[in-house]
Structure 1
């Protein structure tokens, strides 16, 4: 049984014959150079994958400006390269963006956005009369209600861990026993 490729090759060969039946010399069908095909794995990376969190005062529309990445690009260990994948989260993780870098230099990084989506609802977090939870920079933080100041200098990855810590650090009232 012949394949479609073999049929096409035979048809091309028939068309390329001279009137006396000899084949006409011409360009061959182009093929892919194996040296130009690379496997993206742990040993040879052709792009990097990054995750980034935006500052609290930055929005989705700010991502259109390449200069927001100027400080990242100035860091030789964290600068983006062309074709790198970047997953970007807002400070409260209310949205995220998946993007590819199409141009990068010391002045910034230009991104092509693959996906912009809502991520989590960060409102309605636990709060009592002394402490409240806030979500930013990829984690939960305990703040004092009275001052709004950060009360525990630690980031919690789960809301339940942050609540348990807030309850444990509450001052205890000693009664008349």
Structure 2
């Protein structure tokens, strides 16, 4: 019988590349006398535990919205399943350290988004879009609410000329 090691049983998590936050998705909420407040929407493969790594903020620190000590940050998951509130403890050109991010899980939706045999309304991180079920391709531009996306879904089907 061959020996098995723990490495073969458990996949190594160190192989995962840390996603970086896009500076275009960091928005200034308020600028006060002493600190500023930002809202940041993180990439789809970002998990709440990644907030512990200062290097996730590297690109943001090279932008006009660079964080500084005592700034408040409201971080929202790509799919809006969780959010975190934190204060910047320190920041430099390589990243930002968040002091005790308070993570809150959002409840599941009460009502399901509309879908039919070919298409479904889905959240893509920027708004509601109509996706083709067969390949996940976004058929419409992002809209502000699911009702408008449902209307666009109906318009994808040919209408009878009268």
Shorter chain as normaliser: what TM range?
0.7 to 0.9
* Alignment map for 1:6-21 (pairs within 5 Å): none
Distance 2:96 2:150 in 1: 39
In structure 2, the partner of 1:47 is 35
SS of equivalent residue, structure 1 residue 167: helix
The structure whose residues are more often strand, as a share, is 2
Distance 1:99 1:44, change over 3 A: closer
Give the unaligned 5+ runs of structure 1. Answer: 1-41
Contact 1:91 1:137 in 2 (8 A): yes
1:125 aligns with 2:113: yes
Distance 2:81 2:147 in 1: 19
SS of equivalent residue, structure 1 residue 49: strand
Distance 2:117 2:68 in 1: 48
Q: CA deviation at 1:44?
A: 5.2
In structure 2, the partner of 1:65 is 53
Q: Runs of 4+ in structure 1 displaced over 6 angstroms?
A: none
How many aligned residue pairs are there? 132
Distance 2:38 2:31 in 1: 17
In structure 1, the partner of 2:86 is 99
TM-align CA RMSD: 2.3
1:90 aligns with 2:77: yes
Contact 1:72 1:79 in 2 (8 A): yes
1:160 aligns with 2:136: no
1:139 aligns with 2:119: no
Contact 1:92 1:138 in 2 (8 A): no
The more displaced of 129-138 and 44-53 is 129-138
In structure 2, the partner of 1:13 is none
Instruction: Give the structure with higher Rg (CA).
Output: 1
